[in-house]
A and B are shown apart, each in its own frame.
Chain A
Amino acid sequence: MGKIVLHRLVQAMMVAWSVGTLTFVLLRSLPGDMAYRIAAGRYGYDNVDSAAADAVRAELGLERPVLEQYLGWLGDLLQFNLGTTLVSGAPVSQELQHQLGHSLLLASMALLLSAFIALPLGILCALKSQGKLDLASLIASSLLRAQPVFVIGLILILAFALHLGWFPVAGFGTALHLILPSVALALSLAAVSNRVVRNSTYEVLHSAYFEFSRIKGLTARQTFLRHGLRNMAVPVVACMGIQLVGLIEGIVMIESLFSWPGIGHGLAHAIFSRDVPMIQGTALTLGLIFVFINTLIDLVCHWLDPRDNRE
């Protein structure tokens, strides 16, 4: 248990270091003299001369050796001093707080929806394996999995927003705006998870211990609750960890498609406008959330199955 947390803590440090390093290289590789660029940002492009640039250079210590600046950059990062965005001038942390709320809303809605689709469907398919429903879900899942998540979103927009006009095409604000993006994300998640639920349920239902508990006289309900549920849950929760990658990638794509003002959209936008502090902030947040949820999943798996046969 302590080992799991320590391992993930090291991982979180490595996320911060690698994101910090990559963005530092990015900052150094932007074209033009950095002092001039910052001076232009402060005083406006018309008021920049070499004196102003020199003043900025001296103030920010831009003539220091690269290594020293690099360490300073990482030091700022350690103190969660993420700077201000180059586009609006607002502090990055403030922008992140704003975006994070929207992203969490979308992600939790999508997770909830995908659970509502995947759990009943997977269990029903396992009860009648090789049946019509099982086959249909297998085919539908394979077809959905062959699409990038934004294509699912695009098809939903074309069908429900442009042709039927039931939902707005993009944007946010009302509950109606939330439906298409979260359904798109949920479908792409459920395409994988309903098969995992089905397989793990199938295995438990056909296992020796499950059969034995029926033979020794427990009712179907007791057997399911005492022997089925916990054993079925382990692979499903572990799979959620793998799906987490898909969820975070999906958030980047779906938010860009639907102009949802979340953190994934923020990242894509920051890269497009080469807003380095914003790139650092958004990538760091996504990476840390990823590590954090993975830690939770590890702990839940450990709690469900304390035999610790996992690596």
Chain B
Amino acid sequence: MTRPVKHLTPTQWAGALILGALVAFALLEWMLFDRNPARQQLDAVFALPSLHEPLGTDQFGRSMLARMGAAIRLSFSLSLLSVLTSALLGVLLGVWAAWQGGWVDRVLSFLLNTLLALPGLVLVLLLAALVPGSFAILYLAISLALWVEYFRVVRALTRTVVIGPQMQASRLLGFGRGYLFRRHIWPAIAPSVLALGAFGAGNAILALASLGFVYVGLRPPTAELGLMMVELFPYYTDAPWAIVQPLIAVFLLVLGFNLLAGKKHDITD
């Protein structure tokens, strides 16, 4: 096992720091305030930020602090869930396809080409149309769009390892599959898997916000960053500070994950 944490570059540290701050905000809001993000106070619409409401209130007098906390927690959990799922699926199938070769490789590659034929967002939109407003289907759709990248990269990397002399030697010495994977394959693919994971998390957050923005993702009154942008946009002249909050949150989330991913993600071929 490699310890990638030790080798973080300064830019990656910056990314980790931004994400850490956002996690801390989302968790502290939850533990210290724990307000209901759907509770309306119609006599306090668009209250300016104050000590009681540090981020002000929205068009229904709902606490922006509570809504931002809930939305960031939602984005984080969705992106982590779909990255874990797609990474597991992509790595397992990618290693399997490269190691086994033959028809396994052909069938999986065919499946991949089918999925690649539709742009990711169109696939996610179609699946979101099947069951509107459901978190589970968004999670499934985004994972389905993400695993392709893992499979492609892992399969290509594993193939070069499998035919390399080091692994052949280990195999001749009679080591088991588990050992071969841990000793030879995982170290070769780990940096790319982690970089792809950070990059994929950013993409998942973008996808969720984009769906909310075109109004086919989660439904109101869920606090979701894209949805909050559309809801607050008509009130831009009344409360510019309100719409700025979800914009900054998405920006920081994606920037954080992109910086964390480092340079490797640029063009993975």
Residues in A lying within 8 Å of B, measured CB to CB: 7, 10-12, 14-15, 18-19, 22-23, 25-26, 29, 142-143, 145-148, 150-151, 154, 158, 162, 195-196, 199, 235, 238-239, 242, 244-245, 248-249, 252-253, 256-257, 267-268, 271-272, 274, 279, 283, 286-287, 290-291
Nearest first, the 10 closest Cβ-Cβ pairs linking A and B are: A146-B255, A249-B121, A14-B114, A268-B214, A11-B117, A271-B129, A146-B254, A248-B119, A256-B214, A15-B117
Please report the C-alpha to C-alpha distance between residue A158 and residue B233 in the assembled complex, in whole angstroms.
Answer: 10
Report A-chain residues with C-beta under 8 Å of the C-beta of B258: 142, 145-146
Inter-chain CA distance A279–B128, complex, in Å, is 12
Instruction: List residues 107-121 of chain B with CB under 8 A from any CB of chain A.
Output: 113-114, 116-121
User: Is residue B250 contacting chain A, with contact meaning CB distance below 8 A?
Assistant: yes
The complex places the Cα of A274 from the Cα of B251 at a distance, in Å, of 31
Question: Are B119 and A245 neighbours in the complex by a CB distance under 8 Å?
Answer: yes
Query: Is the Cβ of B122 less than 8 Å from the Cβ of A287?
Result: yes
Q: In whole angstroms, what is the CA distance A150 to B209 when docked?
A: 10
Q: What does DSSP make chain A's interface, helix, strand, loop or mixed?
A: helix
Question: Given that A154-B233, A268-B125 are contacting pairs, would A142 and B117 also be in contact in the complex, using a CB cutoff of 8 Å?
Answer: no
Q: When the two chains form the complex, which single residue of A11, A158, A267, A271 contacts B114, counting CB atoms closer than 8 Å?
A: A11
Q: Is B210 an interface residue (CB 8 A)?
A: yes
The reply to whether B113 and A11 form a contact with Cβ atoms under 8 Å apart is yes
Residue of chain B at shortest CB distance from A143:
B255
- Taking CB atoms, residues of chain A closer than 8 Å to B267 are 196, 235, 239, 242
- Does B117 lie within 8 Å of A283, measured CB to CB? no
Residues of B bordering A, CB below 8 Å:
113-114, 116-122, 125-130, 132, 202, 206, 209-210, 213-216, 226, 229, 233, 236-237, 247, 250-251, 254-255, 258-259, 266-267, 269
Q: Which residues of A contact B202 (CB under 8 A)?
A: 146
Consensus secondary structure, chain B interface: helix
When the two chains form their complex, are residues B118 and A15 in contact, meaning their CB atoms are under 8 A apart?
A: yes
Query: Would B117 and A158 count as touching, CB distance under 8 A?
Result: no
Given A146-B255, A199-B266, A283-B118, 15 more A-B residue pairs with CB atoms under 8 Å apart are A14-B113, A22-B127, A26-B130, A145-B258, A150-B213, A151-B247, A239-B267, A245-B120, A249-B122, A253-B214, A267-B125, A272-B214, A283-B125, A287-B118, A290-B119
By the criterion CB–CB under 8 Å, are A252 and B214 in contact? yes
Q: How far is the CA of A221 from the CA of B168 in the complex (A)?
A: 50
Q: Name the distance in Å between A158's Cβ and chain B's nearest Cβ.
A: 7
A32–B210 CA distance with the chains assembled, in angstroms = 30
In the assembled complex, which residues on chain A have CB atoms less than 8 Å from the CB atom of B259? 142
Chain B neighbourhood of A142, CB < 8 A: 255, 258-259
Q: Is the Cβ of B119 less than 8 Å from the Cβ of A148?
A: no
**A268 CB contacts on chain B under 8 angstroms:** 125, 214-216
Contact assessment for A147 and B254 in the assembled complex, using a CB-CB cutoff below 8 Å: yes
